[in-house]
Chain A
Amino acid sequence: MRVIGVPRRRVDARAKVTGQTRFADDIFLPRMAYCKLLRSPHPHARIRKMDTSRAAAHNGVYLVLSGKDLPIEYGILPVSQDEQALCVDHVRHVGDPVAAVVAREELTAFEALDLIDVEYELLTTIADPEEALATPAPRIHEYGEEGNIHKRVSLEFGDVEQGFAEADEVFEDTFFYQGNTHLPIEQHASMAIKDPEGKLTIWSSTQTPHYLHRALAKVLQMPPGHIRVIATPNGGGFGGKSDPFNHEIVVAKAALLLDRPVKICLTREEVFYCHRGRHPVLMKFKTGVKKDGTITGMHLQTLIDGGAYGSYGVASTFYTGALQTVTYHVPRYKFQGCRTFTNKPPCGPKRGHGTVQPRFGQEVQLDKIAEKLSIDPADLRLRIAESSNAVTANFFRLSVVNLSECIRRVVKNSDWKEKFRKMPDGRGVGLACSAYLTGAGLPIYWNKMPHSGVHIKFDRGGGVAVFCGATEIGQGSDDVLAGIVAEVLGLETFDIRLYTGDTDLGPVDLGSYSSRVTIMAGNAALQAAERGREMIAEAAAEKLGVPKERLRFADKRVFDSAAPEKCLTFAQAVCNAEARFGTIGTMGSYTPPKSPALYKGGGVGPSPTYSYTAAVVEVAVNPATGWITVPKIWIAHDIGRALNPTLVRGQVEGSVYMGLGEALMEEQEFRRLPKKLSHALVHKFPSMLEYKSPTSLDMPEVITELIEEPDPRGPFGAKEVGQGPLLPIMPAVANAVYDALGVRIDEVPITPEKIMKALAEKKAGRTPRFGPNHFPKVNWPEALRVPPPWEGGDGNAVNDVPRAAKHNPEKEKVLSP
């Protein structure tokens, strides 16, 4: 292969390094106006009265909008349509928008915000899940399970108590994973216009133009065909630009009303209010094992701080319990998850969506199990790693699984056997593994259509244009499309023109989330390119008088492999095919395979295939202050095939970087002022200076290995790399700290303060540990019982109402991102 597998400069590199990439905020249009949003200063309140007249009369102000102008509720999931572009009468967190000002100058719009008079009636503030459980009223939302519980799930795959009864040892541990945010360098920005025909066009830094398209159509009550969404290249997404956002809807409405381009670029503080980041999760793991490490059963409970809106939360809840079975063989598994509403910016999907928190708990607990059983943690994992083509207890079908090879490589590269439990005091190594989806098996809204489509247009000059809804968020989706098409047609990526992320130009791709673009848009591109090659080859075979099967496409030529001098240039071949068939354009599409997980909730977690990762982290901790540094990390990732190894390595190292931030410092933390004096519950530091995320100086050396065994489900065998490699970093750091000092930090971030507290416990002769000590009582529903495959299960629950008997199966089904 000439393109695939060759380290290449990405197709959008030139534009990016020369500053020519046009992000949403770089778009300037004649007559454009600027929008600013007035946001609630209260964490929880009713809007009693609002008077916008002074702002509307302010010099330079074109328009003031409030909740009544955009009352229709929307949300990313069909089951959580709970947001309004501007709050009509209920604000749910500091930063919830209540009004918008559109003005000639941004400064004018900002100043006019202070001229809007809002009267609030304050409501009880609910700051965390335990408070939410204890405070059924006032309700943050009028829907959900009850009180302030948004979603509760209970699933049991086999009799887990029986599993514990068969165990030699049963381990119970609680962990806490603090929330954190995506921190893309580009703040969200949007520009909307009423186009010359009177239709709506919006440019926006979104990862999901298709879902924004749907939300706009719903809230603005316009036919989707009259709305064009163009996803501009995102300056980082990481899941934070996957929801339809209030500011996008507001500028669209304003542009339609004013017949002027209207732009908004959020401040960094406002990005913290959009959030949709990592949910804070309290977890309790109960795991039974045999003396040899074999798992006999696992019971996982999660309590999830959802923030003020649903967002992807129902899916996030399922995700906290979905992938435990995908890494290691768990024969009996029970999962219970509960997401509560709180008066904080809504949580949602961040890189590793919902699976990062329980991965931390599971990998740290395995480290404890290995120690108790006197088994090397790497050996323990090798014994219990899942195998290729298995179907898990919760009915996820695996494809190629190369976890064991990942473990062996990092063990070898890091010199693990010479370091583990052998380094001097204050130095240590830790190991952890993970698995992640290569694309969600189901769409967000129920439908039977493809998840991705690609259209290729062949030009008489030999040019090839690829049209696809896939969205470039920096991860390299454009490069994937160009690489695949170029490889199939014997071209270079420079010969391919890309038209992506535009709902008018390209077929739907569901968006850049769940690590789905390479496999889904990639397979669609592969199909479209192969169909084009087939037509060109058929016509060329006639022309050259050689059997079609002998034709090859390479070096921009179509030639007879037996007599390479018999050839057409690619451009000649296209003209030849056009003369034979008419205008050449081909389509490709991709729909994931059907999942055997038929039970309710089984829509979250299935994937065409899963990626695997193992990592070893070395730490140095100063026992006098707990100061922690990470000198080196070894990581191996089961990628299937690296389409462009340069980009794959970049994704692995980027994941390590983000993982280290979560492990050591990042916190979406809130500050409550003394209750007697104030009602306030504010984000502690919504700024890039005080929300700590590592700098380049804080990055360790990273040794990356790619394990390449092509997966039959992926285009050219490729699996995902955007999210999986993040997952093992945090638990590996925690395990390394234990190796260094003999203290367990059972929560992230792992800070010097927590290390010192754990060392103090150790010194006092108590459990050398820092972390949560209890899991509150949750009123769990009766578990859906799904017998695992080895107990004769068929993927359905034995105690659920059959789907066919329900009135509206689409609405009932929980769909996954």
Chain B
Amino acid sequence: MMRLPLFEFRMPRTIDEAVLILDGEGPKAMPLAGGTDLLPNMKRRQQVPKTLMSLRYIEDLNRVRMEASASRLGACVTLADIAADPRFRNGLTALAQAASLVATPHIRNMATLGGNLCLDTRCNYYDQNYEWRKAIDFCLKKDGDTCWVAPGSLKCMAVSSTDTAPALIALGARVRLVSRLEEREVLLGELYNNDGLDYIKRKPNEILAEVLLDSLHGWKSTYWKLRRRGSFDFPVLSVAAAARFTESGVVEDARIVMGSAASRPLVALDAAKTLVGRPLNGESIAEAAVLAARIAKPLDNTDFDMSWRKRVTGEFVTCALRELRGDDVSGERLSYMRTHSH
């Protein structure tokens, strides 16, 4: 079987202690926030940190505070907790759905919100073990010089594969990043780079400590995920949509975010803009679907054919918006995701 490389293991009890460790160890240390992705990656030698620092025992990171005006979610809240917690409904439905659709029940019991937000980008040329990667002479993301997805590319094309990030971006979330000397808040939509290698703006000495949400009163949201099977699989396309309606059903504000269609979640600004000031009708939904699909650029490095994934983008935007309008799309949801709506 595959064995983990040797590493040092640290388990700080406070955020202060944790950032001190990160500061001292430098980039050779990695926070462990569930480990459902990091540990397999280490077995495949994609990441070989000298030190693993568990965040599990830091109480502050395990807190959920939800008030009418705002919510704060600790980074180490598990995806299973989010999926099961009735407080994550109504406006926050997209987050609960996204969390409930990650991998398998076992993995969701371990995996955390912060871990999923920081999830390494994925690629069929990269998520392979050491011997396989040696057989292709490695790739740009790790130990090699060529991006085999697009051999002319100077940039790594690995795919953002987090489920919760598109959902939280659609909900307008911010994250709080803490290092030894400073603390900063960043809009989640601005945390990511469209670069498979340097995909996240979290610095190696920072901990993503909390997710912050303003009041979502009046908002409705939903999350659609494309994957081959009803369990296990990372998304190969996802659509998170959120909208606030007037009493007469006119869209006051809307956000549409696509996951797994680039190295970062893609915010479909034009598609969202076209919805505002109109009711969600067949016409506006169709326009938004076309505008959103236009910016999705799936590549041949995940499951499914890339042009087919692009085609599904429009279909998923349509389904998501129809769902927000109140249409019954439970049949489609069950068919694609093998799961019922929340």
Q: Which residues of A are at the interface with B, using a C-beta cutoff of 8 A?
A: 25, 39, 41-42, 94-95, 106-107, 110, 187, 265-267, 269, 620, 622, 624-627, 629, 665, 671, 673-674, 677-678, 680, 682-687, 689-690, 692, 694-698, 751-753, 756
With both chains docked as a complex, state the minimum distance between the C-beta of B66 and any C-beta of chain A, in angstroms: 30
Q: CB distance A697 to B135 under 8 Å?
A: no
Bound CA–CA A68/B332 (angstroms):
60
Q: CB distance B135 to A107 under 8 Å?
A: no
In the complex where A620-B335, A627-B336, A680-B136 touch, is A695 in contact with B3 (Cβ < 8 A)?
Answer: no
Bound CA–CA A629/B135 (angstroms):
36
- Interfacial chain B residues near A752, Cβ < 8 Å: 304, 308
Q: CB distance A674 to B151 under 8 Å?
A: yes
Of the candidates B3, B129, B146, B304, which one forms a contact with A269 in the assembled complex, judged by CB atoms under 8 Å apart? B129
- Interfacial chain A residues near B304, Cβ < 8 Å: 751-753
- Interfacial chain A residues near B148, Cβ < 8 Å: 673
Q: Indicate with 1 or 0, residue by residue over B194-235, a CB within 8 angstroms of chain A CB atoms.
A: 000000000000000000000000000000000011111110
- Interfacial chain A residues near B332, Cβ < 8 Å: 622
- Interfacial chain B residues near A106, Cβ < 8 Å: 1, 3
- Interfacial chain A residues near B234, Cβ < 8 Å: 689
- Interfacial chain A residues near B6, Cβ < 8 Å: 107
- Interfacial chain A residues near B228, Cβ < 8 Å: 665, 692
Find the A residue at minimum CB distance from B6. A107
With both chains docked as a complex, state the minimum distance between the C-beta of A272 and any C-beta of chain B, in angstroms: 10
- Interfacial chain B residues near A42, Cβ < 8 Å: 135
- Interfacial chain B residues near A694, Cβ < 8 Å: 229
With both chains docked as a complex, state the minimum distance between the C-beta of A264 and any C-beta of chain B, in angstroms: 10
- 8 nearest A-B pairs in the assembled complex, by CB-CB distance: A697-B230, A41-B135, A753-B305, A697-B338, A753-B308, A107-B3, A695-B231, A692-B228
Q: CB distance A695 to B230 under 8 Å?
A: yes
| 14 CB < 8 A contacts A-B | A106-B1, A107-B3, A107-B5, A269-B128, A269-B131, A626-B308, A627-B336, A689-B232, A692-B303, A695-B229, A697-B229, A697-B231, A698-B338, A756-B311
Find the A residue at minimum CB distance from B338. A697
Of the candidates A39, A665, A678, which one forms a contact with B137 in the assembled complex, judged by CB atoms under 8 Å apart? A678
- Interfacial chain B residues near A684, Cβ < 8 Å: 124
**Known A269-B132, A625-B312, A689-B233; further 4 A-B contacts with Cβ < 8 A:** A106-B3, A625-B308, A671-B124, A698-B230
Residue B2 at the chain A interface, CB threshold 8 Å: yes
- Interfacial chain B residues near A683, Cβ < 8 Å: 132
Residue B23 at the chain A interface, CB threshold 8 Å: no
Q: CB distance A690 to B2 under 8 Å?
A: no
With both chains docked as a complex, state the minimum distance between the C-beta of B38 and any C-beta of chain A, in angstroms: 15
Q: Indicate with 1 or 0, residue by residue over B170-184, a CB within 8 angstroms of chain A CB atoms.
A: 000000000000000
- Interfacial chain A residues near B311, Cβ < 8 Å: 625, 756
Find the B residue at minimum CB distance from A752. B308
Residue B87 at the chain A interface, CB threshold 8 Å: no
Residue B134 at the chain A interface, CB threshold 8 Å: yes
Find the A residue at minimum CB distance from B3. A107
- Interfacial chain A residues near B339, Cβ < 8 Å: 697
Q: CB distance B124 to A690 under 8 Å?
A: yes
- Interfacial chain B residues near A626, Cβ < 8 Å: 308
Q: CB distance A682 to B338 under 8 Å?
A: no
How many residues of chain B are within 8 Å of chain A by beta carbon?
Answer: 37
Of the candidates B128, B136, B335, which one forms a contact with A687 in the assembled complex, judged by CB atoms under 8 Å apart? B128
- Interfacial chain A residues near B287, Cβ < 8 Å: none
Find the A residue at minimum CB distance from B103. A689
In the complex where A622-B335, A629-B335 touch, is A267 in contact with B231 (Cβ < 8 A)?
Answer: no
Q: CB distance B229 to A698 under 8 Å?
A: yes
With both chains docked as a complex, state the minimum distance between the C-beta of A602 and any C-beta of chain B, in angstroms: 42
Bound CA–CA A684/B132 (angstroms):
10
Q: CB distance A680 to B336 under 8 Å?
A: no
Q: CB distance B136 to A267 under 8 Å?
A: no
Task: Please provide the chain B residues from 125 to 157 with a CB less than 8 Å away from any CB of chain A in the complex.
Answer: 127-129, 131-132, 134-137, 146, 148, 151
Bound CA–CA A410/B308 (angstroms):
35
Bound CA–CA A687/B41 (angstroms):
13
- Interfacial chain B residues near A265, Cβ < 8 Å: 1
- Interfacial chain B residues near A687, Cβ < 8 Å: 127-128
Q: CB distance A690 to B315 under 8 Å?
A: no
Q: CB distance A187 to B229 under 8 Å?
A: no
- Interfacial chain A residues near B308, Cβ < 8 Å: 625-626, 752-753, 756
In the complex where A187-B1, A684-B124, A753-B308 touch, is A624 in contact with B315 (Cβ < 8 A)?
Answer: yes
- Interfacial chain B residues near A673, Cβ < 8 Å: 136, 148
Bound CA–CA A132/B136 (angstroms):
22
Bound CA–CA A266/B129 (angstroms):
13
With both chains docked as a complex, state the minimum distance between the C-beta of B170 and any C-beta of chain A, in angstroms: 22
Bound CA–CA A106/B318 (angstroms):
52
With both chains docked as a complex, state the minimum distance between the C-beta of B254 and any C-beta of chain A, in angstroms: 23
Bound CA–CA A772/B234 (angstroms):
31
Bound CA–CA A629/B336 (angstroms):
9
In the complex where A110-B3, A265-B1 touch, is A682 in contact with B132 (Cβ < 8 A)?
Answer: yes
With both chains docked as a complex, state the minimum distance between the C-beta of B233 and any C-beta of chain A, in angstroms: 7
Q: CB distance B2 to A267 under 8 Å?
A: yes
- Interfacial chain B residues near A689, Cβ < 8 Å: 127, 232-234
Q: CB distance B230 to A39 under 8 Å?
A: no
Find the B residue at minimum CB distance from A688. B232
Bound CA–CA A613/B249 (angstroms):
56
With both chains docked as a complex, state the minimum distance between the C-beta of A658 and any C-beta of chain B, in angstroms: 15
With both chains docked as a complex, state the minimum distance between the C-beta of A251 and any C-beta of chain B, in angstroms: 15
Q: CB distance B1 to A267 under 8 Å?
A: yes
- Interfacial chain A residues near B231, Cβ < 8 Å: 695-697
Bound CA–CA A626/B335 (angstroms):
12
Q: CB distance A690 to B132 under 8 Å?
A: no
Find the B residue at minimum CB distance from A682. B135
Q: CB distance B336 to A94 under 8 Å?
A: no
Q: CB distance A267 to B230 under 8 Å?
A: no
Bound CA–CA A626/B336 (angstroms):
11
Bound CA–CA A314/B145 (angstroms):
43
Bound CA–CA A629/B335 (angstroms):
7
Q: Indicate with 1 or 0, residue by residue over B91-125, a CB within 8 angstroms of chain A CB atoms.
A: 00000000000000000000000000000000010
In the complex where A692-B303, A698-B229 touch, is A682 in contact with B136 (Cβ < 8 A)?
Answer: yes
With both chains docked as a complex, state the minimum distance between the C-beta of B46 and any C-beta of chain A, in angstroms: 13
- Interfacial chain A residues near B305, Cβ < 8 Å: 751, 753
Of the candidates B2, B129, B151, which one forms a contact with A677 in the assembled complex, judged by CB atoms under 8 Å apart? B151
With both chains docked as a complex, state the minimum distance between the C-beta of B24 and any C-beta of chain A, in angstroms: 27
- Interfacial chain A residues near B336, Cβ < 8 Å: 627
| B129, B131, B230, B231 pick with most chain A CB within 10 angstroms | B131
Of the candidates A94, A620, A677, A753, which one forms a contact with B135 in the assembled complex, judged by CB atoms under 8 Å apart? A94
Bound CA–CA A753/B308 (angstroms):
6
Bound CA–CA A674/B129 (angstroms):
21
Task: Please provide the chain B residues from 209 to 268 with a CB less than 8 Å away from any CB of chain A in the complex.
Answer: 228-234
- Interfacial chain A residues near B128, Cβ < 8 Å: 269, 685-687
Task: Please provide the chain B residues from 310 to 342 with a CB less than 8 Å away from any CB of chain A in the complex.
Answer: 311-312, 315, 332, 335-336, 338-339
Q: Indicate with 1 or 0, residue by residue over B1-26, a CB within 8 angstroms of chain A CB atoms.
A: 11101100000000000000000000
Q: CB distance A686 to B132 under 8 Å?
A: yes
- Interfacial chain A residues near B232, Cβ < 8 Å: 689, 695
Q: CB distance A680 to B335 under 8 Å?
A: no
Bound CA–CA A751/B236 (angstroms):
15
- Interfacial chain B residues near A25, Cβ < 8 Å: 1
With both chains docked as a complex, state the minimum distance between the C-beta of B137 and any C-beta of chain A, in angstroms: 7
Bound CA–CA A64/B146 (angstroms):
33
Bound CA–CA A799/B19 (angstroms):
84
With both chains docked as a complex, state the minimum distance between the C-beta of B142 and any C-beta of chain A, in angstroms: 16
With both chains docked as a complex, state the minimum distance between the C-beta of B131 and any C-beta of chain A, in angstroms: 6
Q: CB distance B129 to A267 under 8 Å?
A: yes
Q: CB distance A41 to B131 under 8 Å?
A: yes
Find the B residue at minimum CB distance from A755. B308
With both chains docked as a complex, state the minimum distance between the C-beta of A697 and any C-beta of chain B, in angstroms: 3
Bound CA–CA A42/B135 (angstroms):
6
Find the B residue at minimum CB distance from A629. B335
Bound CA–CA A95/B135 (angstroms):
9
Bound CA–CA A25/B135 (angstroms):
27
